[in-house]
Amino acid sequence: MVRLGTLRSVFRSRNLIFSLLCCRLLAQNPPPAAELPHRFEYPTEHFSIELPGPWTEIDQATVGQLGSATAVLMPNAPKFKFNHLYTSSDVASHAVFVMLSSGHYIDAYFKDLDAFSQAASDAVKGFLLGSILQGVQSEFTSYDTGRHVLWATSKGNSLLAGEIKNLIGMYITTVGAIQVGCWAKAAEFEKYQAECKQIISSEDRSGSRADTAGSASELVRMATDQANTTYRQLVERVNAGDFSVDFRALRIACARSNICEVRATPKELADMARAAKEQQQTDVVEICERLISHGFINMEAHIACSQAYAALNRPDRVKFHMDTMTALFQSILTAGDGKTEDTAYEVISVREVYEVLAGKGLPQYGEGVVSPPHLYSAGSHKYSRWEVMDPKTQKKVVIFFNTDAVPQAK
């Protein structure tokens, strides 16, 4: 099971490629003449940003090339999509970029920044393998609970541009995360830092309330017909390659619908495991694709499909199922931290409970489970409380799961 720790590593690596890409792409596509200070408005993207007079927006054709270039320069990193890019006349020295995502986070996720940093550091090591970046070091991280924004600074070395530094602000909103970042050559970073922070701080969410979307208990109030429609539409978008959808909403829509199975039966899972053990890859594909057609949120089926397609030399299908599984899993972990009832992981089935525990390297059964899971209600919510032994630290760990969205009749 994948570990969640990619968020801040993405912060770092996305910035540091600009020293390599901007100089080449912008030299071929210089920015238009500078305009007077004004605010760039993006109603459909739910944000706006104010740029000083010397700053202008780079054309979308050039911006589009950046994401493609990162796949070559950083082959082990996640797929990047830069939505907007701005610079002043000194295009080879510094730039500000905007990246939008549908990832829904809550304040609680950033309470333990030390643990957050360690997980991200582990993840970034893998991203840097085979890349042009020689190293990345975090210098400062903080979370502004008033504005719901994560601030981070870091520096790194590239084989072509030397040492560069960056400043990032990621805003948490109802429509997803808005990441605004500024990079500059290390020798000139201090010169541009204040102006960059002013630009990042000028971001406005155009009416989208700070903090994330509603809790699971609010989302499960949608009627069955609405859930069916939402589920179908989101699945169609993902199948078409759109991974900007809200996978949290997709999971909960499945739980509320009558056309989605939130889990496979033990027999179906056993049949899939048996086919995989016997190396019957075409049988595995037949089973896992059938399970996914019945319940797109089935992470075990997506993992099995990814492994089977790898054996069948179908890299396109490997990537699709692995990306889907990762997005589904992250939609659980980014909606809470499991440390309290208020920040409990929101799950739609017992299988998701097991998957979270497995993903965190914690036992789901046996001697490692200190006491049986405690199911109870508190206020208007339902919870499952687990007390397990962390095999790494040999200490007891208590994890809370919000089970409001677990279907009673499924």
* pLDDT at 135 (0 to 100): 63
DSSP letter string over 202-266?
Answer: T-B-TTPPBS-S--HHHHTTS-HHHHHHHHHHHHHHHHTT-TTS-HHHHHHHHHH-SS--SS--H
Please check whether residues 54 and 171 belong to one and the same domain: yes
What token pair was written down for 308? 């089977």
Please check whether residues 186 and 259 belong to one and the same domain: no
Please tell me the pTM assigned to this model. 0.60
Please check whether residues 278 and 303 belong to one and the same domain: yes
Please check whether residues 163 and 75 belong to one and the same domain: yes
Residue 199: closest CA among 31, 111, 84, 75: 84
Q: Are 359 and 367 in contact (CB under 8 A)?
A: no
Please check whether residues 159 and 262 belong to one and the same domain: no
DSSP classification of residue 347 = -
Residue 193's domain comprises 6-201
* pLDDT at 211 (0 to 100): 40
Q: Considering 201, 235, 263, which residue would you say is the last residue of a domain?
A: 201
Q: Phi, psi at residue 65, to the nearest 5°?
A: -75, -25
* pLDDT at 335 (0 to 100): 78
> What is the full per-residue pLDDT of the chain (410 aa) written as tens digits?
333 344 444 444 444 444 444 444 444 455 554 455 788 888 878 788 998 887 888 888 888 777 666 666 666 666 667 889 888 865 556 788 888 876 666 666 676 677 666 666 665 555 555 555 566 677 778 888 777 888 888 887 766 567 888 888 888 776 678 889 888 888 888 888 888 889 999 887 654 444 444 445 556 778 899 999 999 999 999 999 888 788 888 999 999 999 999 989 999 999 999 999 999 999 999 999 999 999 999 999 999 999 999 999 999 999 999 989 988 998 888 778 899 998 899 999 999 999 999 988 999 989 899 988 999 999 889 999 999 999 999 999 999 999 998 986 55
Please check whether residues 235 and 382 belong to one and the same domain: yes
Q: Considering 153, 177, 201, which residue would you say is the last residue of a domain?
A: 201
Residue 178 CA to residue 111 CA, distance in Å, equals 19
Residue 201 burial (C-beta neighbours within 10 Å; 0-12, 13-18, 19+): middle
Task: Check which CATH number belongs to the domain holding 25 and give it.
Answer: 3.40.1000.10
> Is residue 207, in this structure, part of any structural domain at all?
no
Number of domains in the chain: 2
Please check whether residues 406 and 299 belong to one and the same domain: yes
> Is residue 323, in this structure, part of any structural domain at all?
yes
Q: Considering 168, 201, 234, which residue would you say is the last residue of a domain?
A: 201
